[in-house]
Amino acid sequence: MLRRQARLRREYLFRKATEGKHKALQDKKSKIKKALEDHTPIHGDLKRDALKLQDKLKWDDAGPQRAAEIGGISGGANTANSQDDEYRFAGCEDPKIMITTSRDPSAKLKQFVKEIRLIFPNAQRMN
């Protein structure tokens, strides 16, 4: 359980970091695009990256914005971040249920696990 929580925490922090980088890049692109459309000078902080970002602007479309409107980068209901990532596949695919017992289950416990497994459709038994 601790490994799982640590892994989930690492994944969450990684997603937050990548979302931050993605948002910063999109902000830079939008500032450069606005400066090019308005024929105004590009801000000093963006001059170094302006040529690379300008080349990338040629190939940009409404895909990232559309994804953010539909369900965000990581999914969820109208979210553009990973806050509701836990419910990304709710209703799309059945949950996986793992039924576990002790190392040496008794006969009654084995029978109970069999009955539980029949109750839950996608249940898997371990031990």
The stretches of the chain forming alpha helices (DSSP H) are 2-38, 50-59, 63-70, 107-119
Overall residue count recorded for the chain in this entry = 127
Instruction: Report the predicted TM-score, pTM, of the whole model to 2 decimal places.
Output: 0.44
The stretches of 39-77 forming alpha helices (DSSP H) are 50-59, 63-70
- What are the 10-residue block averages of pLDDT along the chain, 127 residues in total? 84 86 85 86 81 76 63 49 63 82 92 93 85
CA proximity to 104, closest of 85, 88, 75, 127: 127
Q: So what's the pLDDT on residue 77?
A: 46
Q: So what's the pLDDT on residue 88?
A: 67
Q: So what's the pLDDT on residue 68?
A: 61
